Amino acid sequence: MKNLVDMTLSEKPDTAKIRIEAEAYKVGVSGYFKDYDANTDRKMMATLLKMFDEGVADSLKPIYFTAMRQRYKMDFVKLADALFAKSDLDEEKEMNEVFAKFGKSSAKELKSDPVYQLADALIVFYRERIAEKVKSFNNEISLLNRLYMEGQKEMQPDKKIYPDANSTLRLAYGQVRGYEARDAVYYHFQTDLDGIMEKYIPGDEEFDLPLRLVELHKTKDYGRYAVNGTVPVAFIATNHTTGGNSGSPVLNARGHLIGTNYDRVWEGTMSDILFNPEICRNITLDIRYTLFIVDKFAGAKRLIDEMDLVD
């Protein structure tokens, strides 16, 4: 990194910035393109640019974007197709060649790329014209939130109000319970390994499974973690959770660790605004499944031996 800094001292700031970004990019280029699909990216660009054009006032659009929009007569599919056709940023081979021998000519090449120019125009415009106003609005909202909270406490003096979770220890309590999501649709409170296997699709990006896990299910080698011939995986409960609660320990009434909170059910995502105990459920990874994976799947019984497990 010191050599990189030394090389940039004699360069213009914008060229130096691109060089530093290039060094960082080289590290992750292969990992990025591993899951990248240019056709999907191009379609997303067309859709997002159209949404940006329709949802943002003309005074809040950079000149470069406005010029490109007019050039292609607001046909954002053609605009995206043209940008991708003229850009090398969607090709792993070309990007590796650019960053392999990065220099002033490479920086100039990147700066002339139409996709880079569009992204740079949007980012610079946001930083110079929008960011400070957004920061000002957020500061004002923070002050008003204090006034709003004071009003709630004065209007409902007997109501128990959850404290803000930021920088504080936040505790929530509830009961393990299923719920009725909609008419004639009821979700049980517990899922298990059998359900995981029902979704198993070999080679599928989302539903593939390690062969070791498949074999454990086939042989029913569950050890002490078996319940009714399977292994509990996750459960839902009426606890109120918010952003930042993922990874929180879930305890039973005796203080025993029974799981790890990691999500909310779809019907309860509005609970930050209005908590409805009939449908708001947090989702917890059952500690028995965690121990099963550590012990039987990963073979790390030495870690299990260090724990005090309670049945």
Query: What is the set of domains in the chain, with CATH numbers?
Result: 2-130 (no CATH), 179-305 (2.40.10)
| Range with lowest mean pLDDT among 17-26, 83-92, 152-161, 277-286 | 17-26
Split at pLDDT 50, 70, 90, the class of 21 is: low
Burial 203-227 (b: 16+ CB within 10 A, else e): eeeeeeeeeebeebbeeeebeebbe
pLDDT of residue 20: 56
* Average pLDDT value for residue range 140-159: 91
Query: What tokens does 186 get?
Result: 């009821």
Q: Answer for the pair 297, 282: CB distance below 8 angstroms, yes or no.
A: no
Arithmetic mean of pLDDT, 1-9: 38
Please check the confidence at residue 158 and state whether its pLDDT lies above 60: yes
In this structure, are residues 104 and 11 in contact, taking their beta carbons and an 8 Å threshold? yes
Q: What is the pLDDT of residues 69-82, one digit of tens each?
A: 999 999 999 999 99
Cβ pair 99, 25 in contact under 8 A = yes
**Res 11: pLDDT:** 46
Query: Lowest-pLDDT range, 108-122, 202-216, 286-300?
Result: 108-122
pLDDT at 3 over 60: no
Is pLDDT of 221 > 60? yes
pLDDT (tens digit, 9 = 90+) per residue, 103-116?
A: 677 778 788 889 99
Helix (H, G, I), strand (E, B) or coil at 59: helix
Taking a C-beta distance cutoff of 8 angstroms, is the pair 177, 236 a contact?
yes
99 Cβ contact partners less than 8 Å away, ≥ 6 residues apart: 22, 23, 25, 26, 29, 106
Kindly state the tokens that stand for 217: 């299910």
Residue 38: enclosing H or E segment and its boundaries? helix 38-55
Residue 165, judged by CB atoms within 10 A of its CB (0-12, 13-18, 19+), counts as middle
H/E run at residue 49: helix 38-55
Higher pLDDT, 171 or 264: 264
How far apart are the C-alpha atoms of 87 and 12, rounded to whole Å? 24
Cα–Cα dist 119/101, whole Å: 23
Mean pLDDT of 132-139: 93
Compute the average pLDDT of residues 162-179. 80
What gap in Å lies between CA 117 and CA 122, rounded to an integer? 9
Give the per-residue pLDDT at 2: 37
pTM of the model: 0.56
Q: Is the pLDDT of residue 131 over 70?
A: yes
89-95: average pLDDT: 83
pLDDT for residue 48 is more than 90: yes
Classify each residue of 123-159 as buried b or exposed e, where b means 16 or more C-beta atoms within 10 Å of its C-beta: eebeeeeeeeeeeeeeeeeeeeeeeeeeeeeeeeeee
What is the structure's pLDDT at 9? 39
